[in-house]
Amino acid sequence: MKAIKNLTLILCLVFLVGCLNYSSTKNFKKLDASVVKIDDSTYPVVIIGGGFAGLTSSIYLSQGNIKHVLLEGTIPGGAITASHSVCNWPGEKNISGIDLANKIKEHAISSGANIINAQVNSVDFSVWPYLINIKENNQDKIIQALSCIIATGATANFLDIPGEKEYFGHGVSKCATCDGPFYKEKTVAIVGGGNTAITDALYLSNIAKKVYLIVRRDTLRASGKQTDTVKNKSNIEIIYNTNIKKVIGDNNKVIKLEIFNNKNNSTSELNIDGMFLAIGAKPNTELFKNKIDLDEQGYILTHKNQKTSKSGIFACGDVCEPEYKQLIIAAGDGARSAMHAQSFLAKIGFSTPNTNIENNVQDQAQKITPEKQDVQEIAPAKKSVPTKNLTQKSQTFGSVIEVTDEQQFAKEVLNYKGKVVADFYAHWCFPCKMMHPIVEKLAKELNTIKFIKTDVANVEILAQIWGIRGVPTFILFENGQEVARFSGGRDEVAFKQIINEKLNN
């Protein structure tokens, strides 16, 4: 009797495996690439995301002569562009994140990559070819994909505590490289105990007078030589077993933190000038909820060879890596995704043309759309600089005026009778570079408004006078008086809306 049961079980398993194999084969037969016309809106592969994983996929597809398009999204080059120092990329002993990202992007373009700066509005993976709704140059359109590689990365977390969002850009920052130089000889706090926190602490210790590293556990998660350096740096103090409960400011800038010792249950205040967040990230997978399988944290579930739960859709990089967020891993994932996408295309009957892929690369600088940041506009601050002898507005502009000193600022802004948009940027700041093409475009379009820009790294006195504590910061003036300001990036539509509302344009 037992033998009969075992035989029955074996027969059932054989039947089940046969059904699964049939189902898999049948699925590929349903997806017949030979009947799909590849045109300007249909691609063998669409890569969503322009970080290291996506760019590496693009390099491999280009060298394999597979037509594809890479949609850069809001952060060309990925999150690493905010890092001032990368020390673990093979062949580069020490290089900035943006320089390394530019090298990878240049490699992709020289290989034949088609890169466009577009954002994805939605995806439809219930039909094939897969449908991807994108926004490019403020125009919505739909493109089709036989296969898709998702490389959307992850976004740095907030603490979600009182005062944090209110003072973002005014003492609260996610980017030590961008905003660190504003805290020369000041006191700052870094929140986090991982590799990013350690790197930021070392960087800021060379600028700030005092650096507090606030860790909620009794040990650092980071390891290696940099950890030992942090522990031995005279102006870095590590505060263990501590949570931040509240960011406290004076309605203009951060002045202190309310902290809680979770070991002895005591509450105290810590006087600081700025707080930098280095507390991990969440995957950028909102687009893919209920479209492909995600884990409990929202990361894309991948199986062998970067495959997702949908045929022909692959994921790579931080969007599917909850533990080790490393460039080298993202690049490896990207290469593997590209090769398996190519294998998938072959299985569904797609034949690679013998001609070289046309490189349709557009002018990247004119298409950059920055990431919108959660920053709160603050009330205009009163300045002591006089606004005498206002110049009458009697001309149109159309370009952005570079202001290089305090006297020129007074002439172009404070003593000008009319409307002015002032861009306070820094030449090292990647989000600032992302905003430049948008500012230039709006200056041409809104040519009755004067647009000026000033590099606060070179004109520090203006940063001090106008209380600039984060870049980019935009201040709107009318008749020499500040009427509004905001920090962080905006897309073109949102930026234009703010200008029209605040300046009654």
Condensed to tens digits (0 to 9), the pLDDT of residues 339-358 reads 999 999 999 999 875 433 33
| pLDDT > 50? residue 15 | no
Task: Return the CATH number at 265.
Answer: 3.50.50.60
Which DSSP category does 95 fall into?
Answer: B
Q: Where does a domain end: 333, 358, 383? A: 358
Note whether 124 and 181 are same-domain residues.
no
Q: Where does a domain end: 234, 263, 279? A: 279
Non-local CB neighbours of 87 within 8 Å, separated by 6+ positions: 93, 94
Q: Across all residues in the chain, what is the average pLDDT?
A: 84
Instruction: Report phi then psi at 107, rounded to 5.
Output: -60, -45
The set of catalytic residues is: 175, 178-179
Residue 129 has what pLDDT? 95
Domain that holds residue 335: 32-155+282-358
Note whether 274 and 418 are same-domain residues.
no
| pLDDT > 90? residue 23 | no
Q: Where are the alpha helices (DSSP H) in 237-351?
A: 327-347
pTM for the structure as a whole: 0.65
For 121, other C-beta atoms within 10 Å of its C-beta total: 13
Instruction: Report phi then psi at 363, rounded to 5.
Output: -70, 100
User: What is the rounded distance in angstroms from the CA atom of residue 91 to the CA atom of residue 256?
Assistant: 42
Q: How far is CA 474 from CA 49, 98, 262, 420, in A?
A: 28, 23, 39, 10
Q: Where are the alpha helices (DSSP H) in 392-429?
A: 406-409
The reply to whether 398 falls in a domain is yes
Note whether 243 and 135 are same-domain residues.
no
Residue 304 has what pLDDT? 83
Q: Where does a domain end: 279, 294, 313? A: 279
Note whether 108 and 222 are same-domain residues.
no
- What's the mean pLDDT in 373-383? 39
The region of weakest confidence among 99-103, 287-291, 311-315 is 99-103
Note whether 151 and 37 are same-domain residues.
yes
Evaluate whether 326 touches 87 at the Cβ level (below 8 Å).
no
Note whether 56 and 134 are same-domain residues.
yes
Residue 431 has what pLDDT? 76
Residue 94 has what pLDDT? 82
Residue 4 has what pLDDT? 54
Note whether 123 and 237 are same-domain residues.
no
Note whether 180 and 260 are same-domain residues.
yes
Pick the more confident residue, 435 or 378. Answer: 435
| Tally of domains in the chain | 3
Residue 93 has what pLDDT? 84
Sheet containing strand 187-191, edge to edge, reads: 172-173, 274-277, 187-191, 210-214, 236-239
Note whether 75 and 115 are same-domain residues.
yes
| pLDDT > 50? residue 58 | yes
Q: How far is CA 168 from CA 46, 139, 184, 268, in A?
A: 35, 30, 19, 22
The reply to whether 419 falls in a domain is yes
% of the chain exceeding 70 in pLDDT: 85
| pLDDT > 70? residue 368 | no
Structure tokens at 272: 């600081």
| pLDDT > 70? residue 10 | no
User: What is the rounded distance in angstroms from the CA atom of residue 494 to the CA atom of residue 158?
Assistant: 22
Note whether 409 and 303 are same-domain residues.
no
Note whether 247 and 303 are same-domain residues.
no
The region of weakest confidence among 57-66, 97-106, 287-296, 476-485 is 97-106
Q: Which residue has the tokens 């961008």?
A: 178
Q: Which residue has the tokens 């003492």?
A: 171
The reply to whether 433 falls in a domain is yes
The reply to whether 71 falls in a domain is yes
